[in-house]
Amino acid sequence: MSAGPRPGSVSVLFPQQPVDGRSILPFGRLVRDSCAVRLWMGQSLRVESHPVLAYLAGAGCEISVGIGVGLMVLRHPLDAALQARSLAALTGQPVTVGYGAADARFVSGLRGSPYDRPAKAVEEYLTIMQALLRGERVTHHGSLYQMDQALPPLEHPPVEVGAGVLREAMARAAGRAADVAITWLTPASYVRDTLVPALAEGAGGRRKPPRVASVVHVAIDRPGRSPMLLAQSGAGSHLRAAHYTDMLRRAGLDVHSADPVAGARELVEEGVFVYGKASEVAAAIREQHAMGVDEVVLNPTAVSNLFGTDEAFRDLEEILAEIDSGGGHGARQAL
């Protein structure tokens, strides 16, 4: 059930795990009143993402929303389908919900062991979700799930099911089972040259390949800001994770989990962390679109971490205004 916006779209990521619904309202209104098409959240372990996004609708801000990515180990795929369509019904807008296998240590802490084949696990999970959202009764006997169940009928706006995608095996799995591939920290050339072909290979002509939504770190060049420190703050945990650094090395970056400081410098030098004037950030976003990214999700987490959510909001306002005006030529990579 497709809910994806047109190619060349821009969305916004709420940069923190919320402790209440009020904190997200200004970002929802920004999406409503700007050229952004959707408000995204990651997996929140404070106030959970689905009810926080539903809070927006209850507060009168009815916008399209996305979760990317939720951690599949936290819920059964039937509950995932139920939560996603409930969110669509409550907001009255299309919803995108993506799931990923999560860090192996986190998974082991909940189920006793990691997934033997994470890509296969995600594919099984999404296949069940898709069938339930189509209104089908699912009789499934897989390696992870055994079930014979359906959800009761419910009319709701479209729900798009996604997978968190970093490398080719997961991209092929997403090609078989997902509506959207959600990437994080992926260089645009790597999306074009590696992930998009793998998505098409997975789809195999049997279905339309998933569209690509890429979460991209952004920050405006302002006095007192260091792009290096911003990149460390916004991406430091990912730069310590083996699956992220492996992906970045496959993309041609010299990044290693043992040295996240050098990794942050590499992100800035290679333009993966996008830093510059609003016009330069807008130009970099257009380059992402030109390389096969259908929806760029602006991620101001680094600014929020170091300078607060008000400053992150200010950056997003200026970037979206620049994109909406059609300005922005010649992206810059600054140190």
What's the pTM value of the predicted model, to 2 decimals?
0.95
How high is the pLDDT of residue 329? 39
How high is the pLDDT of residue 4? 77
Q: Which residues, 6+ apart, have CB-to-CB distance to 246 below 8 Å?
A: 167
Q: Which residues, 6+ apart, have CB-to-CB distance to 33 below 8 Å?
A: none
Domains, the chain = 9-325 (3.20.20.30)
Rg (CA), the chain: 19
Mean pLDDT by 10 residues, the chain (335 residues): 79 97 97 98 97 97 97 98 98 97 94 96 98 98 97 98 98 98 98 98 96 98 98 97 96 97 98 98 98 98 98 98 75 30
How high is the pLDDT of residue 117? 96
How high is the pLDDT of residue 6? 85
How high is the pLDDT of residue 331? 35
Distance of CA 104 to the CA centre of its chain: 19
Residue 49, CA distances (Å) to 102, 105, 250, 305 in order: 16, 22, 32, 19
Nearest to 211 by CA among 243, 183, 187: 183
How high is the pLDDT of residue 44? 97
209's tokens: 């390949």
